[in-house]
Structure 1
């Protein structure tokens, strides 16, 4: 929920009435995709899940074998070996669920700040409730929770502490509690705010969809534009596009844009390229070809060279790339692959 780069395990909170507790627990234990049951108590079920139960958006570091070989396969064996993830399912009464959800969402630092704010108001905040100390006394856990203030959702917990609701993405104890008190929380970017995307590949290089399919899909998503940036020819493993093919793609894009403009369709394609960064900070493709494009994504792919140099050398080379008149975007600027490869040293 906090949109961290990776997760170590899963915590699932299930609100369940007492009369349904046994049937819900049994239903969970009989779900497909459970590799092992580590423990099953009244309030928590500990599982090992087979990651094949998740959809394609859940990745345990899978990399295409051809790309794996090109970028140093031995470093990535750990990714291909992954196949399970630990999960704890917590069964709680409905009136406790908002508190349990907030607690296990974290972060630890945010929870500490919230608990201190509760203490300052004579309250005890934990995964069971928000309980007046005068009523809780020596009671703990669910015994104390019977005295909790009511909260239909997480927003109500924050309201009890005189705070605006803090979205999970901001719960890091980096000033969000003070901002929630003073009305200074920022508006977060929502999926509906996204109008387009620049770093996209078609089947001209190593993409999985044609230009036409990608444009149609972007329009159906409600986007106003889409940038096409296929790989340049130096990256042969990704079927980098030649100058001739790239310019032909540009003519196709111009034709589509003209048709949409004539039909008053609020959508257009931008034509770019993901250019390999070559020796000395040069870009793939001649300058006269790059000048025909709407934009250029300059990216590092020769990781062996970049990982073999120090921070100063890499930073200076990236600065030369940024100074190139054609460069618009610096693509994946650290070379990092989550759970698989540390990036090269660079001062961003």
Structure 2
């Protein structure tokens, strides 16, 4: 497990302990340890091995041992024991938004509720109305949460599935007789949410399928044939592994990557050229046309190579025919990270720790964007604390070489569309990101007016997470995004691609329109800890899916160029 996975596991342990009625002090210790681990700047495995983890505040002997278990095993015994205390139907209730372990414990004890279905039934019977700690509003919210859970059933965040896929692909590469191995399907196309994990391999089928069947992440093999294995992982994700002869690998990879619509269009093109295309080959009559890789298949069909991210039947074949596909942005094009929080607001790491981690990722600048004064829940900065942070940044910049810290802020966009500070404060930041953090239930016309008014403010530079969505948890708030994009273009604003895997907002489907309007995209991690900075680079996948090139991405600029861009557009748009 990496540091984030260890942190998540400790938090899960605390939740299970609380659900079981364990000592509140023990529960709190594991919750605190979860946050502490995520904010550590040292190598976690080394700290456990040399014992220095015990010198970290809040990490005692038992927690240190459990961290060691988490690092050593995909199925650590202590966590398996905690999970085994409850049937799967009870654990499923933890997925309902806003329903924590304390409330579930009450429901189990008072109403003998043991599953989502039973909970929905007692809600329909209005049995929560007089239950202490619940009431009508809570009952309504639980029913909404259950409806959302049902709607999202069988769908998973791509980042979580990718993490497991990387581990299993590594095992396949190490298997005896392996030749080529790849992820396929929607995961390879960089969809933000996926239903399953598709893997493709060439080589010895028995050895490769055996490597998956015996893998610790696999909970059950549900089907196994000569060349295909289907399994269910412990996370609930279904896995399909197909093994093909190596000469068939390019054709199978192209076919099983999809999308279905892309493949239909590609097969139609092949037919028009007197060819036949499928997972077994590219045929002229009964003769297969040899292709060493996918690029050869597209070339034989008169097309430039189409990257997997673009294979959605959204004009990519026509563009490839004309040689007009974009040169998609690459992770190495990213120069810096904007939208970064520290312990000054609701982050878990100091500014110095965030800088150190950014430099290790090869970045050359950070844009610090603490929450603004209205965000009291996140320790938002009032004017005095803003000035204190500016002084800290000046002091830190004076001691840095080859790295720059930009003075930014994530200002709340208030219900009337105004920003959270007066003009004199806003004008003194290097850049201002404006985001909606409240009032999500506004009617569409009012929300659209709210955001457009903020975009007309000359001191707002970047619109943050523009639709407010949380994948598989919260739908976007009602807003006319076409009008928002037009307003952003008219006022020379950039729009954030919030690369946190729970957001990925701006949606990739809207990016071609933004690009056509000349809007720059900022790929931002929304980092609240050192590990989160990596989202800046992984977010490139979503930008590529949206047809973004290096020139379209704000933080592909070097620091001085970026500061000049902010300053020049502010000068042009400033109030009279």
The normalised TM-score by structure 1 is 0.80
Q: Which runs of 5+ in 1 are unaligned?
A: 52-83, 136-146
Q: Which of 386, 402, 405 in structure 2 is aligned with 1:246?
A: 386
Q: Report what 2:440 is aligned to.
A: 306
| Alpha-carbon displacement from aligned partner over 1:146-178 (angstroms, at most 9, x marks no partner) | x42222211111122122111111112222222
Q: Which of 234, 239, 257 in structure 2 is aligned with 1:87?
A: 239
Q: Find the aligned partners of 2:342 and 2:269 in 1 and give their Cα distance.
A: 52
Q: Report what 2:190 is aligned to.
A: 3
| Alpha-carbon displacement from aligned partner over 1:31-79 (angstroms, at most 9, x marks no partner) | 011122221111211111123xxxxxxxxxxxxxxxxxxxxxxxxxxxx
Shift of 1:339: 0.8
Residues paired across the two proteins, number: 294
SS at match of 1:198: strand
- Structure of greater relative contact order (alpha carbons < 8 Å, 6+ residues apart): 1
Q: Report what 1:30 is aligned to.
A: 214
Please list, as runs of the form range in 1=range in 2, the aligned pairs for 1:1-348 lying within 5 A after superposition: 1-16=188-203, 20-51=204-235, 84-132=236-284, 134-135=285-286, 147-260=287-400, 265-302=401-438, 305-307=439-441, 309-348=442-481
SS at match of 1:247: helix
Q: Find the aligned partners of 2:348 and 2:222 in 1 and give their Cα distance.
A: 40
| Alpha-carbon displacement from aligned partner over 1:205-241 (angstroms, at most 9, x marks no partner) | 1223211122222233232321000112322332323
SS at match of 1:281: coil
RMSD: 1.7
Give runs of ≥4 in structure 1 deviating > 4 Å: none
Q: Report what 1:140 is aligned to.
A: none
SS at match of 1:35: strand
Q: Find the aligned partners of 1:102 and 1:243 in 2 and give their Cα distance.
A: 55
Shift of 1:253: 1.1
Q: Find the aligned partners of 1:94 and 1:336 in 2 and give their Cα distance.
A: 42
Q: Find the aligned partners of 1:94 and 1:239 in 2 and give their Cα distance.
A: 57
Q: Report what 2:40 is aligned to.
A: none
SS at match of 2:339: coil
Q: Report what 1:59 is aligned to.
A: none
Q: Which runs of 5+ in 2 are unaligned?
A: 1-187, 482-576
Shift of 1:322: 1.5
| Alpha-carbon displacement from aligned partner over 1:67-92 (angstroms, at most 9, x marks no partner) | xxxxxxxxxxxxxxxxx211111111
Q: Find the aligned partners of 2:415 and 2:449 in 1 and give their Cα distance.
A: 12
| Cα distance change of structure 1 residues 3 and 24 upon mapping to structure 2, 3 Å threshold | closer
Q: Find the aligned partners of 1:50 and 1:119 in 2 and give their Cα distance.
A: 43
Shift of 1:248: 1.2
Q: Report what 1:139 is aligned to.
A: none
The normalised TM-score by structure 2 is 0.49
Shift of 1:337: 0.7
Q: Find the aligned partners of 1:99 and 1:237 in 2 and give their Cα distance.
A: 53
SS at match of 1:197: strand
Q: Find the aligned partners of 1:153 and 1:329 in 2 and give their Cα distance.
A: 41
Q: Is the 8 A contact 2:205 2:227 kept in 1?
A: no
Shift of 1:285: 3.4
